[in-house]
Amino acid sequence: MISRNFRKWLQVVIATVGVTSLLATLVALAYVHNVRWDLSPGNRFTLSDHAKQVLARVHQPVKVLAFIRTEDPRNLYIKDLLWQVSRECASLTYDVVDVNRHPALAAQYGVSSYGAAVVESGGKRSDFSNPSEALLMSAILRVIQESKHVYALAGHGECAIDNTDRHDGCSQLREALTMESYKIDSLTLLGGGEVPADAGVLLVAGPKSDLLEGEVAVLGRWLDRGGKMLALIDPFRAPRMVSLLGAYGIEVGANVVLDMDNRLSGGEAFSVAIGDLNRQHLVTSTLKSPPLFSLAAVVAGRGNEINGRRVATLLKTGPRSWASYDPRILEGADISFVAGRDINGPLPVGVEVVQPAGPGAEPGAETRILAYGDSDFAGNRFIDYLGNKDLAVNSVNWLAREDELISSRPQQQVSGKNQFFISQSDGESVFWSAVVVQPGLFLLVAVTLSAWRRFGP
C-alpha cells in the first residue's frame, strides 16, 4: 500500500516537473524568438519601418537613459519601446532610472522632470521629454550624423515654414523635417541674394506671386551647379518658376485636375487621392497610403538623351480623371469637360528629373528636381492625411541622398485624421451593396419562401 502511494506521488512530482520544464522552455523560446501580434491603434507596440531604417544606420555605440518615477503610467510603454529598439540594434543600450531613487544621477544629467530621456553617442547628446518612437528616432539621428540644411524659398506668398496657421502654414512640415535631423530656414533671394553654399535642398512651396527674373537666374545657376530642388507648384501660379522648371524638362500645365472617382466620398471635387503610385521609385514605393492632393496641376517630364536627363513619373491620377484649362473653375464655374480644350486622364502630377550638373560643378555632381502639381498636401491642413507626410519628407530625403531614411512613419491617431477614408467610387459601391443589393437579396428570399409556403406542396 505504501509502495503504491509512493508511486502515485512520484508520478505527480515527475508530471509537475515535466509540465513546469515545458512551460519554462516555451517562455524561454518565446523570449528568444519574439513574435507579436500588435492589435493596438496605430501599432504603437511595434516598431515602424522608419524606425527600423534609422536603427540600421547605427554603427556606433548609442546609450539611452530614460528617467521615470515608479507610479508613472507611461513606464510600461517606455520600457517596451526601449526593449524593442535594443533588440533591433545591437549597438544600442539603455537604462531606466527612477528619479526619486537616483536623484544624484538625475542631477548629473541635468534632468528634473519625469519622462525625460537622454541619448548619447560619440560625445554628442540629445534630450527630449515624453518618449515616443518618433522622438527617440530623431534623437538617435542627431547624435549619429551631421545635419543637412534645407532652405525654404520665401517672399512670394509661399507656404511659410514658421506659420502655424492650419490653412496657410507649413510649420508641421518643418517639424517633420527637423525630426529627420535637418536644419531648415527661410531664404529670400530678393535684393540680389544667392543660394547658400550649405544648401542641401531648396524647397519651393507654392509661390502665389511670380519670381523676379534675377531670382530665376540665381536658381538656374544654382541648379546647374548640381542643386537639389523640391518644387510644389499650384495651378495658374508663378509662370517664371514654371518656365525655369521647363528648362529642366518639367512641364507644369496651366490646368486643374479633377478625378470624380478618386475624390473623397462626399468631398469637394478638387481633393483627390492619388492612387497610381510608381512602385519602382524609392520615394513612392514606401508609401502605405496614397497622398491626398487638393487643386493639383498636371506635371509631366521630358527626358533628353543628349544631356543625359532622366525622367520618372511618380504619381498619376485615375483613368477617368481629366484636367480643365479654364481658370474660372477655381471661382466656382461649372465643372464640365470641354472637348478640344481639356485633356483626359490618367494624368501625371508628380515627376523627378535627374541630369548631370553643368560646367563648373564638382565631378559627378547631379541636378535633382522633384516637382508636384500641388503644395497643399505639404501644408498644415493636409500633411497628416493619408500618405502626405511620408511623400513630403521622403522627397527631401531622396533629394538629399538620404535614401536609408526613406520609409513609412507611424501615423498619429488623432480624431478626424488618419481614420477611415473611402473614395467616391468606393462610397457608391458600398451604397449599392448595403442599401440596394443586400436588402434586395433578403427581400427575394422572403418572397420565395412565402410563395413556397403558400403555393408549394
pLDDT of residue 439: 73
Q: What percent of the chain has pLDDT over 70?
A: 87
Same domain (yes/no): 265, 294: yes
388 near 283, Cβ under 8 Å? Answer: no
Q: What percent of the chain has pLDDT over 90?
A: 29
Q: How far apart are the first and last CA of the chain?
A: 73
Q: Is pLDDT of 233 > 90? A: yes
Positive or negative, the CA dihedral 215, 216, 219, 221 is: negative
- With CA atoms as reference, report the closest residue to 346 among 365, 368, 321: 321
Residue where one domain finishes, among candidates 141, 163, 190: 141
- Enumerate the β-bridge partners of residue 252: 299
- Is residue 437 a part of any domain in this protein? no
| Residue 354 CB burial class (10 angstroms; 0-12, 13-18, ≥19) | middle
Same domain (yes/no): 210, 117: no
More confident residue, 443 or 300: 300
Residues 6+ apart with CB under 8 A from 277: 284, 285, 287, 290, 314, 315
- Is residue 27 a part of any domain in this protein? no
Using CA atoms, how far residue 207 sits from 121, 128, 155, 293, in Å, is 41, 35, 8, 17
Positive or negative, the CA dihedral 410, 416, 422, 424 is: negative
- Is residue 72 a part of any domain in this protein? yes
Q: Return the C-alpha torsion angle 80, 286, 250, 388, nearest 10.
A: -50
Same domain (yes/no): 62, 197: no
Same domain (yes/no): 204, 334: yes
Same domain (yes/no): 164, 235: yes
Is residue 430 very low, low, confident or very high in pLDDT (cuts 50, 70, 90)? low
Positive or negative, the CA dihedral 180, 181, 186, 189 is: negative
Residue where one domain finishes, among candidates 111, 141, 171: 141
Indicate the average pLDDT of the chain. Answer: 83
Is residue 457 very low, low, confident or very high in pLDDT (cuts 50, 70, 90)? low
Q: Is pLDDT of 19 > 70? A: yes
Q: Is pLDDT of 333 > 70? A: no
Q: Give the pairing of strands 366-372 and 228-232.
A: parallel
The rounded distance, in Å, linking the Cα atoms of 283 and 259 is: 23
Is residue 425 very low, low, confident or very high in pLDDT (cuts 50, 70, 90)? low
Q: Is pLDDT of 228 > 80? A: yes
pLDDT of residue 427: 53
Is residue 251 very low, low, confident or very high in pLDDT (cuts 50, 70, 90)? very high
196 near 187, Cβ under 8 Å? Answer: yes
Same domain (yes/no): 124, 157: no
Mean pLDDT score, 437-447: 72
The rounded distance, in Å, linking the Cα atoms of 100 and 165 is: 40
Mean pLDDT score, 314-329: 87
Q: Assign residue 245 the CATH number of its domain.
A: 3.40.50
User: How many domains are contained in the chain?
Assistant: 2
The angle at the Cα of 399, spanning 303 to 350, to the nearest 5 degrees, equals 50
Is residue 312 very low, low, confident or very high in pLDDT (cuts 50, 70, 90)? very high
Same domain (yes/no): 221, 280: yes
Same domain (yes/no): 136, 150: no
Query: How many Cβ atoms from other residues are within 10 Å of residue 215's Cβ?
Result: 22
- Is residue 431 a part of any domain in this protein? no
pLDDT tens for 216-227 read 999 999 999 999
Mean pLDDT score, 29-39: 61
Same domain (yes/no): 126, 203: no
pLDDT tens for 375-404 read 999 999 889 888 899 999 999 999 999 888
- Enumerate the β-bridge partners of residue 143: none
Same domain (yes/no): 289, 374: yes
296 near 305, Cβ under 8 Å? Answer: no
Is residue 174 very low, low, confident or very high in pLDDT (cuts 50, 70, 90)? very high
- Is residue 330 a part of any domain in this protein? yes
The rounded distance, in Å, linking the Cα atoms of 350 and 312 is: 9
The rounded distance, in Å, linking the Cα atoms of 39 and 12 is: 39
Q: Assign residue 123 the CATH number of its domain.
A: 3.40.30.10
pLDDT tens for 181-217 read 899 999 999 877 889 989 999 999 999 999 999 999 9
**Candidate ranges 3-7, 27-31, 159-163; pick with highest mean pLDDT:** 159-163
Q: Is pLDDT of 45 > 70? A: no
**Candidate ranges 29-38, 273-282, 445-454; pick with highest mean pLDDT:** 273-282
202 near 367, Cβ under 8 Å? Answer: no
Same domain (yes/no): 105, 191: no
The C-alpha cell of 155 is what? Answer: 517672399
Inter-axis angle of helices 171-179 and 133-144, to 10 degrees?
A: 60
Residue where one domain finishes, among candidates 141, 162, 180: 141
- Is residue 24 a part of any domain in this protein? no
pLDDT of residue 127: 84
141 near 190, Cβ under 8 Å? Answer: no
Backbone angles phi, psi at 199, to 5 degrees: -70, 115
Mean pLDDT score, 26-38: 65
Same domain (yes/no): 361, 263: yes
Q: Is pLDDT of 456 > 70? A: no
Residue 53, sorted as left (phi over 0), alpha (psi -120 to 50) or beta, turns out to be: alpha
Amino acid, res. 206? G
Domain containing 360 equals 146-405
- Is residue 130 a part of any domain in this protein? yes
Buried b (16+ CB within 10 A) or exposed e, 242-259: bebbeebbbbbbebbbbb
Backbone angles phi, psi at 125, to 5 degrees: -140, 140
- Is residue 122 a part of any domain in this protein? yes
